Structure 1
Amino acid sequence: MNLVFAGSSDFAVKSLDALIRAGHRVLAVLTQPDRPAGRRRRMTPTPVKAYARTAGLPVMAPESLKDEAVIEKLSRLEPELMVVVDYGLIIPRSVLELPSRGCINGHASLLPRWRGAAPVERAVMAGDRQTGITVMQMEAGLDTGPILLVRSTDIGPDESAGHLRDRLADICAAALVEALNRLDAGDLSPRRQNDSLACYAAKIRPEEARLDWRRTADELARQVRAFDPRPGAYTEYRGKRLKIIEAEPLAETSNVETGTVFRASRDGIDVAADDGVLRLKTIQLPGGKPMSAEAFLNGHDVLNERLGIPE
């Protein structure tokens, strides 16, 4: 099938690669423009653009798809289908209507649950036991289009958003290849989403990564997993930002104020939460490398410290 692929992240690269390997002809790749990245803020292409260059594919990276010149260029390609995965820009109706067979999207949730920008992180934060990939036909609404194919997977009890996202990228790639094969065979029947079951996965705000010790230990542990690896859950320790990479809830109580370290050993740093105890297992100081709680304790006496107090 003759395709235009729209995607930006490393998540999307696996889908683009799978479509090429499946024999589909990618006429062009749409991706976001180069952005400043890293400490030196160098202009950096998206992972999809980097992959497309190595694959010898034409790349378009407009600031907006409302540009008439961009729309005209896409129109001249005469694509049968546009495949969209983690693109990050709004696709106007004028572009959605260009391909003869429309546009489909691989979305990292079991729609209509978690429509929006951060479905993986929101699923982990909410304590969902299952998530997956939904392949849907695109329409003007945000992730509201008819569902073509669903592939589900369990969320591990200790699984981070980063690990889950990697697994979902593989599932998405396979689901899109299957969906295109079945579309060709006339073997897919779209079904409307039940809007009454919808919830919105809002974009992650940096301030959400700060641990509030007045929450339960289970909620805090999910927050740590949801923000691993980015942006990274954190608390304050002696005026410095202490990143929490790995933590687990303990089914016990303490008689100290929330946020207080009341026990510290090679097993972890135990902090009082509103309901239960959060054990910090892997942490990171500003400018340092991740380290085990045991290694951290070799140079820091944290017993009876109260965490979460800004400088």
Structure 2
Amino acid sequence: MSEPRLRSVFFGTPDFAVPIAEATAAVTDLVAVVTQPDRPKGRGRELASPPVKELALARGLPVFQPAKLRDGVLAAELERLKPDVAVVAAYGRILPKDLLDLPRFGCVNVHGSILPKYRGAAPIQWAIASCEAETGVTMMRMDEGLDTGDMLAILTIPIGPDDTGGSMHDKLAVLGGEIIREELPRYLSGALKAVPQDHASATMAPILSREQGRLDFTLPARILDCRIRGFSPWPGAFTSLDGGLLKVIRAKAAESPEPAAAPGTVVSLRPLLIAASEGSALELVEVQPEGRRVMTAAELVAGRRIELGKRLGSEERGA
């Protein structure tokens, strides 16, 4: 007769966490799910359940949605379930010590970066925006810090030239499920050795704000391309044209035909090139003018007056 599987609880909230929750259920006896409270969503502001809650309900699992974590109530509820391990992925809140210490194998987190790089709320987006060649997921034993726990396993994936924050989010969610399927049983059997992070090499990935999508043409086009892709779909990349907002949906780095042109200057119409620093230019491929549909750069040039020498974003700089 085979030994009974170890009992687990899962902490997670958004779509990213769903494949990881499914993997947890595949290799352990998942006995409960903890997720964020339902939130208003959409134009009607009706309450919507987190994706992880929907998964739990479909599986008939108990769901906890505490508004507070530090009052001891959740810890008491989970203690009755006697979990051997907790798996955490994109839960959205820092767990207090009583929850971290509750399972006998502790709390295992799946983080969307190659730690110690990109600790924090937006690791997927910042890895692309920082022009990294690869990213991945790290499975770690949680402590009371922010993504500072000892590492148990890492899976990596290259960042392609067309990858965006959205596309890499989906890839890493799948990879997160893989690392749990492959490595959580090894951890629970004692086959994995925890490795401390090099805290001196840590970088942060702070939560994104709308303003971080504003394009700064004093940067090299290579970096602008990375930021456009990293910050897609949110907050998105934008500049201004004739006093109105111009969203940049897709672009790519190129050499400038006028290396001495001021940053933000239109230096070519076909293709539509905008001067950046270090002799580079950003080729706009798809854009969305304020109040208009998404269109190609060629359609933008054909449909309105964009002459050579015009400066995008000049209203923002007071030029």
TM-score bucket (shorter structure): over 0.9
Aligned in 2, Cα 1:257/1:184: closer, same or farther, shift over 3 Å? closer
Unaligned runs of 5+ in 1: none
Partner of 1:217: 221
The one-letter code sitting in structure 1 at the alignment partner of 2:274 is: V
Q: Please tell me whether residue 307 in structure 1 is matched to residue 312 in structure 2.
A: yes
Instruction: Give 1:287 shift.
Output: 4.9
Partner of 1:18: 23
- In the alignment, which of 238, 252, 258 is matched to residue 234 of structure 1? 238
Secondary structure in structure 2 of the residue aligned to 1:179: helix
Measured against aligned partners, the alpha-carbon deviations of 1:24-43 in whole angstroms (never above 9, x if no partner) come to: 22211111122233344333
Q: Please tell me whether residue 257 in structure 1 is matched to residue 262 in structure 2.
A: yes
Asked whether the 8 Å contact 1:64–1:89 carries over to 2, the reply is no
Aligned in 2, Cα 1:64/1:302: closer, same or farther, shift over 3 Å? farther
Partner of 2:128: 124
Secondary structure in structure 2 of the residue aligned to 1:219: helix
Asked whether the 8 Å contact 1:7–1:84 carries over to 2, the reply is yes
Partner of 1:139: 143
Moved more, 99-108 or 280-289: 280-289
Aligned in 2, Cα 1:250/1:193: closer, same or farther, shift over 3 Å? same
Which aligned pairs between 1:1-311 and structure 2 lie closer than 5 A? 1-20=6-25, 22-254=26-258, 255-265=260-270, 268-275=271-278, 276-304=280-308, 305-308=310-313, 309-310=315-316
Task: Tell me the TM-score normalized by structure 2.
Answer: 0.90
Secondary structure in structure 1 of the residue aligned to 2:37: coil
Note the aligned Cα RMSD (angstroms): 1.9
Asked whether the 8 Å contact 1:96–1:102 carries over to 2, the reply is yes
Moved more, 269-278 or 50-59: 50-59
The one-letter code sitting in structure 2 at the alignment partner of 1:243 is: K
The one-letter code sitting in structure 2 at the alignment partner of 1:4 is: V
User: How far apart, CA to CA, are the structure 1 residues paired with 2:300 and 2:24?
Assistant: 46
User: How far apart, CA to CA, are the structure 2 residues paired with 1:100 and 1:285?
Assistant: 56
User: How far apart, CA to CA, are the structure 2 residues paired with 1:155 and 1:184?
Assistant: 31
Measured against aligned partners, the alpha-carbon deviations of 1:64-120 in whole angstroms (never above 9, x if no partner) come to: 211322221122111111000011111111111111211000011111111111111
Asked whether the 8 Å contact 1:262–1:271 carries over to 2, the reply is yes
The one-letter code sitting in structure 2 at the alignment partner of 1:272 is: A
The one-letter code sitting in structure 1 at the alignment partner of 2:245 is: R
User: How far apart, CA to CA, are the structure 2 residues paired with 1:78 and 1:292?
Assistant: 57
Aligned length: 308
Instruction: Give 1:285 shift.
Output: 3.2
Secondary structure in structure 2 of the residue aligned to 1:201: coil
The one-letter code sitting in structure 1 at the alignment partner of 2:79 is: S
Aligned-residue sequence identity (percent) comes to 38
Unaligned runs of 5+ in 2: 1-5
User: How far apart, CA to CA, are the structure 1 residues paired with 2:57 and 2:244?
Assistant: 41
The one-letter code sitting in structure 2 at the alignment partner of 1:250 is: A
Secondary structure in structure 2 of the residue aligned to 1:115: coil
